[in-house]
Amino acid sequence: MTALNKDAAVAVIGAGAMGAGIAQVAAQAGHPVALFDTREGAAAQAIAGIAKQLGKRVDAGKLDAAERDAVVARLTPAARLEDLEGSALVVEAIVENLQIKRELFEKLEAICGDDCILASNTSSLSITSLAATLQRPERVAGLHFFNPAPVMALVEIVAGLASDKAVVDCLYATARAWGKKP
């Protein structure tokens, strides 16, 4: 099993508590991370919140200031979905609504390269159902973090019926490389 290379771009869609936490985890693991949210300014606000949280860890002597600065520098707000085009992995952490998630994945399939893994942080929707309307459902799998994502070790890797084993294995190895217990 091969994890994503640390230089591989990761995108997170949804800048709420889960999305911001997942973005922080990926950035702390060394990935450049684009954070997108449909709410104007939400991604930038989430990145500022991450910087503030990491600043508290610096103040407590649990994190080096240079490391905080490096993590924050790897986080970028994305203005449009099209800005996620070069991503190796896109994780959605949006509202738990099957139709809305399907529409998002359909848009991402048209934007992202064929080798991009599309992952959902869903805890309740079927990965098979989420991927059913796609041309390439084999590149979709579940990557379910627990809240708060930077703290909780467990990550569920969920295969749909069409999920490619290599995609699932990559997510498993990537979660381990990120210091999680898949």
Residues 127-174 pLDDT 10s: 999 999 999 999 999 999 999 999 999 999 999 999 999 999 999 999
The residues that bridge with 144 in the sheet, in sequence order, are 156
The reported pLDDT for the residue numbered 115 is: 94
144 flagged as catalytic: yes
The reported pLDDT for the residue numbered 80 is: 97
Q: How many CB atoms lie within 10 A of CB 69?
A: 13
The reported pLDDT for the residue numbered 1 is: 74
Strand-by-strand arrangement of the 75-78 sheet: 75-78, 33-36, 10-13, 89-92, 117-120, 140-145, 155-159
Instruction: Say which of 68, 74, 144, 180 is annotated catalytic.
Output: 144
This model's pTM is above 0.85:
yes
Q: Using DSSP bridges, classify how beta strands 140-145 and 89-92 pair: parallel, antiparallel or unpaired.
A: unpaired
Phi-psi region of 179 (alpha: psi -120 to 50; beta: other; left: phi over 0): left
The reported pLDDT for the residue numbered 11 is: 98
| CA distances from residue 166 to 31, 51, 116 in whole angstroms, order as listed | 20, 34, 12
Q: What is the mean pLDDT of each run of 10 residues along the chain (182 residues)?
A: 94 98 98 98 98 97 97 98 97 98 98 96 97 97 97 98 98 98 98
